[in-house]
Amino acid sequence: MEEVPRRTCTGAATATQPLAPESSMATVTDDTDAEHAASLRRRYLIRFEEDTLRQRPLWIRLIIELLGTFVLVTVAAGSGVINHYVGGGPISRTAAVIAPGAVVMAMIYAWGPLSGLHINPAVTAAFAGRGVFPTGWVVPYWVAQFAGAICACLFLQAMFGDMSAGGNYPITTPGGDWKSLVMEIVLTAILVSVILNTATGGRSIGHNAAIAVGATVALLGLFASPISGASMNPARTLGPDIVGNGYTGWWVYVAGPVIGATIAVAIIQAVRGLPNKEEREAAEGGALPMLGGKLKRHR
């Protein structure tokens, strides 16, 4: 290592002092750059989360509900309609139920913080019954959800013809109205219980709530779809019924989810007690935290 003489203020040479190695200086520079990059990432995530958690006006929430229900019904009803259009064989039960479950999971990840992403009138009613969702928003949410379902079915009908060919549920085979009603009650109670429980634990569960809800939709459909179709969603059923002008057993898919959601709310009320802030945030949107589940403000 090279040494250079150190001079005093009079110019006289004194003891030599070693120069810092270039490798040490490079290490310091790399550490500084890495710390700066990490700081920028933290600030970006903080600002992203603050934007995600900020309150949205009702009209934005309604647009998200309309679009979300449109996507759900397009996928759920569209698989049967498109399969009939192309003349394919019967769709496997696994494929028919995994697609809606997967799309629900994806949309919760993408749009959940913006509106709560209910995309189901029964879920909206459950959150309102739980006392964590403004009652004045219930009817607008329902209107947006049914509008999204009807628009999806109009799109499918315009593209592929008869909406009743593969888009509706064959309620009378083999279960019949009453067995289908009981099944819809049970399935909706299970689904809404999962949704309300993951909302209550939103800060600890975080993004995993999307996996829980999507998997529940798929698994319930996997074992119960031969009986009632495993709708659990009045908008999903009535959208194709209205556009396809076929109302066989429609009341089952209204009464079943409503009764099931009511049962789920009663169970959660008994088990969890009063709702908390996290549950309210999940119902209204903005309950998918980042940065370890705690919102940190940058100065």
pLDDT for 292: 37
| Between 291 and 198, residue with greater pLDDT | 198
Preceding omega of 170 cis (within 30 degrees of 0): no
- If pLDDT is split at 50, 70 and 90, which confidence band does 294 have? very low
57-289 topology per CATH: Glycerol uptake facilitator protein (1.20.1080)
The share of the chain scoring above pLDDT 70, in percent, equals 69
Count CA atoms within 13 Å of residue 215 on its CB side.
7
Helix 121-130 × helix 252-272 angle, to 10°: 30
Model confidence at 29: pLDDT above 60: yes
pLDDT for 273: 81
Closest of 230, 126, 122 to residue 171, by C-alpha? 230
Structure tokens at 288: 């998918």
Q: Whole-angstrom Cα distance, residue 160 to residue 243?
A: 13
Report residue 103 CA to chain centroid gap.
9
pLDDT for 5: 53
Could you report the per-residue pLDDT of 205-223, keeping only the tens digit for each?
556 889 999 999 999 999 8
Q: Whole-angstrom Cα distance, residue 199 to residue 191?
A: 12
Model confidence at 225: pLDDT above 50: yes
- If pLDDT is split at 50, 70 and 90, which confidence band does 282 have? confident
* Mean pLDDT for the stretch of residues 151-155: 94
**Domain ranges within the chain, ordered by starting residue:** 26-55, 57-289
246 touches 157 (CB < 8 A): no
Model confidence at 293: pLDDT above 50: no
Q: Whole-angstrom Cα distance, residue 216 to residue 196?
A: 13
240 touches 164 (CB < 8 A): yes
* Mean pLDDT for the stretch of residues 83-89: 74
Q: Is 131 helix (H, G, I), strand (E, B) or coil?
A: coil
Closest of 203, 30, 192 to residue 118, by C-alpha? 192
Q: Is 6 helix (H, G, I), strand (E, B) or coil?
A: strand
